[in-house]
Amino acid sequence: MISTDRQLQLMEEKLVDAQKSAKDSEGIEADVLRDLVEEMELEIAEYKKVVKGEETIFTVSSVSDLANALIKARIARGWSQAELARHLDKQEQSVQRDEAGGYERATLARLADVADVLGYRLRGVLEPAQPREPLKISDLGLPNAHSKAGQK
């Protein structure tokens, strides 16, 4: 994921190289390079949409999605990593480490602080990964549950 203008610049340079390589290649190699070019173009387009404020709501369906959403929220807000650090009263390197590591070592309180200073709130659903089997009347432990279930 692109998280800074410098990374955007590097990705655009790599894209030009990948496009040239894709044109000069054949067969499976060309297919792989075209897929790479498409992924890079999508990533660049996504970053630019966030920077322009065209995308401001970010779907979170896993913990790793939360890290990406916080980075996108910072970008949508128009803040650099240094500006976020200043609002959090932290060192810029701290924000750089958090973002580079996908906020893996950040506490829940830290994640909430980042969302708060960016002016975002997290809403969602905590649901079981595997659906639970439906309860049966006999599972309830009620007296005569077995005999009543058999009568129906």
On whether the CB atoms of residues 104 and 110 are closer than 8 A, the answer is no
Give this prediction's pTM: 0.76
Alpha carbon separation from 93 to 9, 48, 65, 85, 146 (Å, rounded): 21, 24, 22, 8, 64
For residue 150, give both structure tokens.
Answer: 């058999």
Query: Is pLDDT above 70 for 146?
Result: no
Residue 131: pLDDT band with limits 50, 70, 90: confident
The alpha helices in the chain, defined as continuous H runs, are 5-24, 27-52, 63-77, 81-88, 92-100, 108-118, 145-151
> Quick one: pLDDT at residue 41?
97
> Quick one: pLDDT at residue 151?
53
Query: Is pLDDT above 70 for 125?
Result: yes
pLDDT digits (tens, 9 = 90+) for 54-111: 999 999 988 889 999 999 999 999 999 999 999 999 999 999 999 999 999 999 999 9
> Quick one: pLDDT at residue 63?
80
pLDDT digits (tens, 9 = 90+) for 6-54: 999 999 999 999 999 999 999 999 999 999 999 999 999 999 999 999 9
Query: Is pLDDT above 60 for 147?
Result: no
Alpha carbon separation from 146 to 16, 135, 136, 139, 141 (Å, rounded): 71, 14, 10, 10, 9
Query: Is pLDDT above 70 for 142?
Result: yes
Give the number of other Cβ atoms within 10 Å of residue 138's Cβ. 12
Buried b (16+ CB within 10 A) or exposed e, 64-85: eebbbbbbbbbbbbebebeebb
Q: What integer is the mean pLDDT of 111-121?
A: 96
Give the C-alpha separation, 73 to 3, whole Å. Answer: 10
Query: Is pLDDT above 60 for 149?
Result: no
Smallest CA-to-CA distance from 22 within 13, 10, 32, 12 is with 32
